[in-house]
Chains A and B, each alone.
Chain A
């Protein structure tokens, strides 16, 4: 690249980055970025509260239980067998059921609901007529379950809403905002090629969105792991692909900013009102799972979903419509997905370059 062009791009980035990052009208983007972090902080407080409750139950138990003790109980065991393993239940409630039998007769069944805890996981037992007929083990520290929750929040809120609308707010304003402020001529009167100017503005927007959303993603990972012990965090991060997943999520965030950024940059040049293209893009990205394969390739979420490291499991009984929405039926390989986003972005940037060269400063018609 020509040395002068690079110097000009840096000059544009310096001006635009500061303006974009500290714009008062962009405060809502920070709110969008911080929402998942707040969600995980609230979740950590809820888990801590539940743990405190579990620890109370564990203290009241006859025996000091381990997680293995809790998993030893099976459906069909007698109450005495349960007491032999876990001791007397610290929390118990009784009730009687009038169960209808043949000839309109009813028999009385004695039920007991028992609760045990090892201080971190809670075991719920339903005992009917002296035998265990229901076992549920809830762990407040299930990393696998929490990682799936993280994946869900990332895909359905962070990618599809926070980054989508954040890029809309930042990239659409790179040119459109200056037309509305009547200050675009400042750049157009400088000895800068219009496409060099566009590149500088795009990179400034990309730097700003990546700063905001990658920071948010790192904070999300931190707050998501907050309620786990140091040992659990260590195992998750270094032995259970946690660090790798965090890096992939950061990479997907950057790619999302590249893809949506390029799209909204060109939309800001072509459309005067951002609502129409934003709504169209949101619908297009939303219906992506239902599109034919050829059309899927013209969306950004298709590639981003393929790159996400954790597959969101479809619960049994979920309707096919929602199952399709949640799962990625035809994921593509990571290199192809990255290439796909970059190709979509390059097409959008090429259109932007053509558009910016044709652009006129005529504020009165805006």
Chain B
């Protein structure tokens, strides 16, 4: 039994329209973010992962389960979709309870599981109200509850933070982190890059149906050679440090911070930079901190895809 979510040469076409093309992925446990502009294929990848659509070519397996076997697949997968519609006439509790009854479990167990999921998304007070009367944020949370209700090993969440207020976002992010910490596979698609950056262990960058990069964000960044690495250095004598750096010939551009206590350096050879920095530190410049300035999702996204649709 595989312990990965695997896409093998997967393509999906909607008639003549490309969904995703020649996708090869192996997704490990933890939080994986799917990042890409509208129409890049994020939702298609999630729908392929959950069997809602079938690949035109290739094969998808989730922890060894085929995606055309919903009976077994959805015992370990919970999917919070972007589809904002619900069976008519149900309250939040009834929605979850009815969904859980489809698993074939007894009524008492389903009631217990439904209430637990409701508590996890803080919907206790609204559970007895009709879903049709919920706000967008509440509908988002009840969908998350549906995905979480049966304690799945794999959580697939399509734009899960959409419509949530800041407090609810923080709560949900904590929830995803806790699930990931327990060994779950949490797949999240989002446009809000700084949130993706904060929560994800690895990213999959998509553009026009193709996977343009995947893996841990730092390793993805290090493979982007055409953009120099940006490094922020906080120190007591930034101008002196800047002069020394130019002498070392690997620095392309240096800008001094406004407060005169730091500088931003762009280099094509970060290894040489770090070697040179050790020598400089020995020469009396007090280095307060060094931090990469562009190995976050936002920068990688801008470098690989462009910044037209980035939401910061």
Chain A residues in contact with chain B, CB under 8 A?
Answer: 3-5, 7-8, 11-12, 14-15, 18-19, 181-183, 185-194, 196, 357-358, 360-363, 365
Residue of B74, B86, B89, B105 touching A189 (CB-CB under 8 A): B74
Is B52 in the interface zone, CB < 8 Å from A? yes
Chain B residues in contact with chain A, CB under 8 A?
Answer: 14-15, 47, 50-54, 68, 70-75, 78-79, 81, 83, 85-89, 98-99, 101-105, 146, 150
CB <8 Å contact, B47 and A190: no
Asked if A360 meets B52 with Cβ closer than 8 Å, knowing A7-B104, A183-B85, the reply is yes
**A292 vs B88: C-alpha distance when bound (angstroms):** 46
| Residues of chain B within 8 A of A11, CB atoms compared | 98, 101-102, 104
| Residues of chain B within 8 A of A5, CB atoms compared | 104
**A194 vs B47: C-alpha distance when bound (angstroms):** 16
CB <8 Å contact, B81 and A189: yes
10 contacts between A and B (CB under 8 A): A8-B103, A8-B104, A14-B98, A19-B88, A183-B87, A185-B52, A185-B83, A189-B79, A189-B146, A365-B14
**A79 vs B46: C-alpha distance when bound (angstroms):** 95
* Identity of the chain A residue whose Cβ is nearest the Cβ of B53 in the assembled complex: A360
CB <8 Å contact, B102 and A192: yes
Rounded to whole Å, the gap between the CB of B93 and the closest CB of chain A is: 14
CB <8 Å contact, B72 and A15: no
CB <8 Å contact, A4 and B79: no
Does more than half of chain B's interface fall in helix, strand or loop, or is it mixed?
loop
Rounded to whole Å, the gap between the CB of B7 and the closest CB of chain A is: 17
| Residues of chain A within 8 A of B79, CB atoms compared | 189
Does more than half of chain A's interface fall in helix, strand or loop, or is it mixed?
helix
**A5 vs B72: C-alpha distance when bound (angstroms):** 13
**A362 vs B83: C-alpha distance when bound (angstroms):** 10
CB <8 Å contact, B87 and A188: no
**A192 vs B73: C-alpha distance when bound (angstroms):** 9
| Residues of chain B within 8 A of A3, CB atoms compared | 104
**Cβ-closest 3 pairs across A and B:** A190-B102, A191-B74, A4-B104
| Residues of chain A within 8 A of B89, CB atoms compared | 18-19
| Residues of chain B within 8 A of A362, CB atoms compared | 14, 52-53
**A15 vs B103: C-alpha distance when bound (angstroms):** 14
Asked if A12 meets B102 with Cβ closer than 8 Å, knowing A192-B70, A360-B52, A361-B53, the reply is yes
CB <8 Å contact, A14 and B14: no
Asked if A183 meets B50 with Cβ closer than 8 Å, knowing A190-B74, A191-B73, the reply is no
| Residues of chain A within 8 A of B83, CB atoms compared | 182-183, 185, 361, 363
* Identity of the chain A residue whose Cβ is nearest the Cβ of B156 in the assembled complex: A189
Beyond A4-B104, A189-B74, 5 additional contacts (C-beta under 8 Å) are A19-B87, A185-B81, A186-B86, A186-B99, A196-B71
* Identity of the chain A residue whose Cβ is nearest the Cβ of B86 in the assembled complex: A183
Residue of B15, B72, B85 touching A191 (CB-CB under 8 A): B72
| Residues of chain A within 8 A of B98, CB atoms compared | 11, 14-15
**A185 vs B53: C-alpha distance when bound (angstroms):** 11
**A25 vs B47: C-alpha distance when bound (angstroms):** 31
* Identity of the chain B residue whose Cβ is nearest the Cβ of A196 in the assembled complex: B71
Asked if A181 meets B103 with Cβ closer than 8 Å, knowing A192-B70, A360-B52, the reply is no
**A18 vs B103: C-alpha distance when bound (angstroms):** 19
CB <8 Å contact, A361 and B85: no
| Residues of chain A within 8 A of B150, CB atoms compared | 191
**A360 vs B12: C-alpha distance when bound (angstroms):** 12
Rounded to whole Å, the gap between the CB of A8 and the closest CB of chain B is: 5
| Residues of chain B within 8 A of A193, CB atoms compared | 70-71
| Residues of chain A within 8 A of B146, CB atoms compared | 189
| Residues of chain A within 8 A of B86, CB atoms compared | 183, 186
CB <8 Å contact, A191 and B103: yes
| Residues of chain A within 8 A of B81, CB atoms compared | 185, 189
| Residues of chain A within 8 A of B53, CB atoms compared | 360-362
CB <8 Å contact, A191 and B47: no
Rounded to whole Å, the gap between the CB of B26 and the closest CB of chain A is: 24
**A185 vs B85: C-alpha distance when bound (angstroms):** 9
**A360 vs B55: C-alpha distance when bound (angstroms):** 10
CB <8 Å contact, A361 and B87: no
**A332 vs B74: C-alpha distance when bound (angstroms):** 48
| Residues of chain A within 8 A of B50, CB atoms compared | 189
Rounded to whole Å, the gap between the CB of A40 and the closest CB of chain B is: 34
CB <8 Å contact, A188 and B52: yes
Asked if A186 meets B87 with Cβ closer than 8 Å, knowing A11-B98, A11-B101, the reply is yes
Rounded to whole Å, the gap between the CB of A134 and the closest CB of chain B is: 64
**A47 vs B65: C-alpha distance when bound (angstroms):** 69
**A194 vs B68: C-alpha distance when bound (angstroms):** 9
CB <8 Å contact, B103 and A182: no
Residue of B75, B78, B87, B105 touching A15 (CB-CB under 8 A): B87
